[in-house]
Chain A
Amino acid sequence: MSPFLFWIFALVTLIFGAGVVINRNPVASALSLVVSFLGLAALFMSLDAFFVGIIQVLVYAGAVMVLFLFIIMLLNLQTEERRRINWLAAAGGIGVALILLVQICFVIGHFQPARQTFPPLARSTTDDVWNIGALLFSNYNLPFQIIGVLVLVATIGVVLLSKRQPR
């Protein structure tokens, strides 16, 4: 992938990610999140992880975002009225996030392999989905089944939580 495309998609991801935090209207935040996830899916594909990129588009930009938009519509959330911002708390939050960012940059700067480029790949005889699926159903068979149970428990929990309690 050319460096130009990489920086374009990285900027799209980061700018719209910041838009999620900055926007006051929840619908605008949700739509920025969609664009940010699409940029991230493009970055995944630039790393030759096509299956993960497609899953990212299907699950996040498709299912999860519909869930978010549906809840925003259901609760009829409006743009937040301007409350008095507690500047001390806001500065504290931004400061802690900035300190975290500086620490991450420091660690990456001192991480020797971070300066190397990616090694070339051999031409695979099987495709990406086949390779991941073979690993998923052999080495990771037990975690896969546990994840299935987890999703079932989450479904039952959501149904129980959203049921109206009889009074």
Chain B
Amino acid sequence: MITLGDYLLVSGTLFSIGFAGVMLRRNLIIILMSLELMLNAANLSLVAFSRFRVDPNGLPNYNAQVFVFFVITVAAAEVAVGLAILVALYRAKQTTNVKDISSLKF
């Protein structure tokens, strides 16, 4: 049988993959995609806990699913703003590589 731990393990592995993407890749678009992976990994564990903790009336705990709904909305807004910043940056510097954007580096 599938336990809660299996879902948490998948969620943690997905989060680590996204984290590795943010640490390793130099392309800003790939970094944004990895951020999406991390947000979705957190959503998966939220939904797993929602299904695990069944209310007295026999339904899953819907508070967590409402929270997932909010997370998805904020993530969509974040992607839109992030990509707009990326386009503005590309206009100014003609690059999406983080190695070439180091004006604020000490």
Q: Do A and B come from one complex?
A: yes
- By Cβ-Cβ distance, the 9 closest A-B pairs, closest first, are A122-B58, A114-B5, A93-B23, A104-B12, A97-B20, A154-B77, A21-B21, A161-B84, A101-B16
Shortest distance from the beta carbon of B92 to any chain A beta carbon, whole Å? 10
Q: Are A26 and B69 within 8 A (Cβ)?
A: no
B24 touches A49 (CB 8 A): no
Q: CA separation between A101 and B38, bound complex, in Å?
A: 13
Per-position 1/0 for A55-71, Cβ under 8 A of B = 11001100110011001
Jot down 24 A-B pairs with beta carbons below 8 A, ordered by A. A6-B2, A6-B6, A14-B13, A14-B17, A17-B37, A20-B33, A21-B24, A26-B30, A47-B50, A49-B47, A49-B60, A75-B90, A75-B96, A93-B23, A97-B16, A97-B19, A118-B52, A119-B52, A121-B60, A147-B70, A150-B74, A151-B77, A154-B81, A162-B84
Q: Is the CB of A147 within 8 A of B47?
A: no
Chain B residues packing against A (C-beta within 8 Å): 1-10, 12-21, 23-27, 29-30, 32-34, 36-37, 40, 43-44, 47-48, 50-52, 54, 57-60, 62-63, 65-66, 68-70, 72-81, 83-88, 90, 96-97
A-side interface residues toward B, CB under 8 Å?
A: 1, 3, 6, 10, 13-14, 17-18, 20-21, 26, 29-30, 33, 36-37, 40, 43-44, 47-49, 51-52, 55-56, 59-60, 63-64, 67-68, 71-72, 74-75, 77, 80, 83, 90, 92-94, 96-98, 100-101, 104-105, 108-109, 111, 113-119, 121-124, 131-132, 135-136, 139-140, 143, 147, 150-151, 154-155, 157-158, 161-162
- Taking A47-B50, A157-B81, A161-B88 as contacts, is the C-beta distance between A115 and B3 under 8 angstroms? yes
Is chain B's interface secondary structure helix, strand, loop, or mixed overall? Answer: helix
> Is chain A's binding surface mostly helix, strand, loop or mixed?
helix
Task: Report Cα–Cα, A63/B75, bound state, in Å.
Answer: 12
With a cutoff of 8 Å between Cβ atoms, the chain A residues found around residue B51 in the complex are 47-49, 118
Tell me, rounded to whole Å, the shortest Cβ–Cβ distance linking A161 to chain B.
4
Q: Which residues of the other chain, A, contact B34 by a CB distance below 8 angstroms? A: 20-21
